[in-house]
Chains A and B, each alone.
Chain A
Amino acid sequence: MFGWLISSPSLGLLFLVILFPVFWALFTSVHDYTLIAPNFDTFNGLDNYMKAAGDPEFRHTLRLTAFFVAAVVILEFALGFLIALMLHTVERFKSVYYAILLCPLLMNPVIVGLIWRMFLHPSLGIVNYLLSLVGIEPVNWLGSTKVALWTLVMVDIWHQVSFMIVLLLAGLSALPREPYEAARVDGASIFRSFWHITLPLMWPVIAVTLLIRLIFAVKTYDLIYIMTRGGPGVATDLVSYFIYRTAFVSLNIGEASAMSAILLAVILGLTAWLHRYMRSLT
């Protein structure tokens, strides 16, 4: 009882800033609520959900987001784990490496987008200039439907990979030393001890890292907004940016809320599945 009493202020605060908006959005999603007529006069049941689910543009953005998330999470994890393993064995200048690696992570995504937009300017940017020095033709980074999404994946990796590194490194340094010593005495190679000791021991950390990154990746919005606006064509139209447009350009808050609810359900389902799958591995 006393425990509840003590924690009630923070619980109340959590309710206000997290649960209330969620319920408000769910409530809005079953009404015809637009910013032009902001009222709950018309209850329209699942209309907004049906409309969203039947909208080919919305479905396209969901598919594209799934691809984008898979690409950034897998690539960032692979790269991040590799760098974390390398850094783990480093003895000197560790803090210097940390400082350098953390720089991108500390930057605001909007700034990251603007900087890269400048770097990637096809004729006036530094990236194509450097490529031209080694004889590579100018790359159409953001203006080609085939390249633009990968450009965003690359920028996202640049921005977010340190997040993976830091979390995985923390996990690595918390591992016990004894199993490794025993393995060395038994003559196990580095790869074998990685495969049979490091990986199994790291699973919980890896699971959490992947989960957090996945959830954040689904919400990617700032980079798209700054760098491509969903274009060229519909090549980079991620779901968060689409929902934003439905809410603030079309002013259709009801339908945007329904889309958000669908997205929330997808993320929750995915999280639960991944969580259980990772559990089963350990």
Chain B
Amino acid sequence: MLKKWMLAATLVTGLSGPAFAETVNLLMEGVPDTEYVKTLLPEFKQATGIDVNLEVVNYAEMHTKLVPQLVAPTGSYSAIVVDFYWVGEFTKAGWLQPLDERIKADNFDTSVYVPKMIDLVGRVDGTTYMLPFYNYAMGLLYRKDLLADEKNKADFKAKYGFDLDVPKTWDEYLKQVEFFTKDGINGVVNQGLRPDPIAMEWSNYLFANGGEYHDDNWKPTLNTEAGVKAVEQYATNVNKFGPVGSASFSFDEAFNVMAQGKAYSYITYNFFRAGIDDASKSAVVGKVEIMPVPGTEAGKGGSLNGAWGWAIPKSSPNPDAAWTFLKWVESPEIAKKRALQGGSPTRSDVFDDPDVNAKYPYAKALKEMLLTSHNFPVFTYTPQLVEVLGRELSLAVAGEKKAPDALAAIEAEMSELAKKDGKLK
């Protein structure tokens, strides 16, 4: 008994020691950009004496872990990262602290951010709640070695009557998907898992066909020619030109198919561009390039925009230390250091930095992707919309619903959500 008490006493005294040093607790997603931040943390500790405790989890866990902490009067996270599609919900529920006063007091320059980024994960109705962390606009990964192959060029020209080259329009790309489905290779690999992998990827198909989610008054515009075409093309790509089972792939599984050299193309998040050149994960190092998803005509992009923002929750136990961290991690030099490791920037100065461009020639393509991208509808019920999209699109891909029926169902539920949120009158 005495032993137990002594043990308990030692534990208590031992644990209470480090609790006095200031610690910033962060919940982040296990993605490359989080790793880049991690490598720089010792510099933060050196500069400020503040410890950073990173809790890194899978994307799927994040929302579930965040909500209880955000609802609580005092949560355990000092600062958080917010995916663009939680922005409406988090701000409407009043879970985030406005940052404008802190920005003004410290003269933090927010004008360097690409405006699309500030719109998506920065300002909501004139109040700044977040600093844009990294962007994950989606792009088209394609095999440049297959495009350059002389026999492919000749065969393609003979079959379609125009040259095989980097696709300038969406239709050209679809022809290439069909063409490259041969010799044990698939023309495309898709991420068809419910709900966000399929919803996010399909959005590119919608934009590429010239479609949008809603008009200026939030009236859904999905059940249109562009929407129907997008669903049908998506289903054809999965069922006819994709590998078996891509209707259930999440992005890691789809990426693996691409990285094993078994697919010509894959529409996915920009951060996989760095991953495809990592020889420990990829058999096609140096053979893949990224570009904006082509649109209806040359120069028009069909990419879906996406980004994460840094925010301080109302329930933050130590908002001042959290702001110190945000200021540091978004400072020009740290943002540049992250980009030099492969991170995807949100600031124009980092995009245009000569060192970044020298190291990553595709930085230009990433910037173009971002500039020509389209935003997903952001409102209080975005996560629910994603859920509905996932369900209906998956049904359409499985052949259990016709494209117009699936789109009509999405439109109906989307209208209801937009009405509930006061967006649609």
Contacts and interface: CB of A to CB of B under 8 A. Distances in A.
A143 B245 contact: yes
Interface stretch (B46-54, B115-123, B302-310, B389-397): B389-397
Contact of A233 (B245, B246, B398): B398
A234 B395 contact: yes
B193 interface: yes
Nearest to A38: B71
Interface in A167-224: none
Interface string A230-270: 11111100000000010011110000000000000000000
Interface stretch (A45-53, A81-89, A118-126): A118-126
Interface string B371-407: 0000000001101100100110011011011000000
A233 B400 contact: yes
Contacts, number: 96
Contacts of B244: 122-123, 138, 140, 143
A124 B260 contact: yes
Interface string A7-43: 0000000000000000000000000000110100000
Contacts of B397: 232-233
A36 B193 contact: no
Contact of B245 (A36, A142, A145, A250): A142
Given A124-B257, A225-B60, A231 B194 contact: yes
B257 A123 contact: yes
B129 to A, nearest CB: 16
B390 A229 contact: yes
Interface string B185-215: 0000000111100000000000000000000
Interface size class of B (residues with CB under 8 A): 35 or more
B178 interface: no
B247 interface: yes
A228 interface: yes
A145 B398 contact: yes
Nearest to A37: B93
B253 interface: yes
A112 B344 CA distance: 34
A77 interface: no
A91 B52 CA distance: 57
B89 to A, nearest CB: 7
Contact of B253 (A36, A121, A251): A121
Contacts of A35: 67, 71, 93
A231 B248 contact: yes
A73 interface: no
A123 B192 CA distance: 15
A62 interface: no
A233 B194 CA distance: 8
Nearest to B253: A121
Given A35-B71, A36-B93, A233-B400, A123 B60 contact: no
Contacts of B243: 122-123
Give the residue among A122, A148, A229, A234 with the most B Cβ atoms within 10 A. A229
Given A123-B262, A143-B244, A229 B195 contact: yes
A221 B394 CA distance: 20
Contacts of B401: 233
B62 to A, nearest CB: 11
B394 A248 contact: no
B13 to A, nearest CB: 29
A249 B387 CA distance: 8
Contacts of A122: 243-245
A141 interface: yes
A232 B250 CA distance: 12
A112 B67 CA distance: 27
Contacts of B157: none
Given A141-B245, A143-B247, A249-B63, A229 B89 contact: no
A109 to B, nearest CB: 15
A143 B401 CA distance: 16
Contacts of B380: 36
A142 B92 CA distance: 37
Contacts of B398: 144-145, 232-233, 235
A233 B67 contact: no
A122 B253 CA distance: 10
B194 A230 contact: yes
Contacts of A38: 71
Contacts of B387: 245, 249-250
Contacts of B64: 248
A144 to B, nearest CB: 8
B341 interface: no
Given A142-B245, A251-B89, A124 B63 contact: no
B256 interface: yes
Nearest to B60: A225
Interface string A123-148: 11000000000000010111111001
B194 A229 contact: yes
B195 A232 contact: no
A234 B387 CA distance: 12
Across the A-B interface, the 3 shortest Cβ-Cβ residue pairs:
A122-B245, A143-B245, A143-B248
Given A232-B394, A249-B387, 5 more contacts: A144-B245, A148-B248, A231-B194, A232-B247, A233-B395
Interface of B: 60, 63-64, 67, 71, 89, 92-93, 192-195, 243-249, 253, 256-257, 260, 262, 380-381, 383-384, 387, 390-391, 394-395, 397-398, 400-401
9 contacts: A36-B89, A142-B245, A143-B192, A143-B244, A144-B247, A229-B193, A232-B192, A248-B63, A251-B89
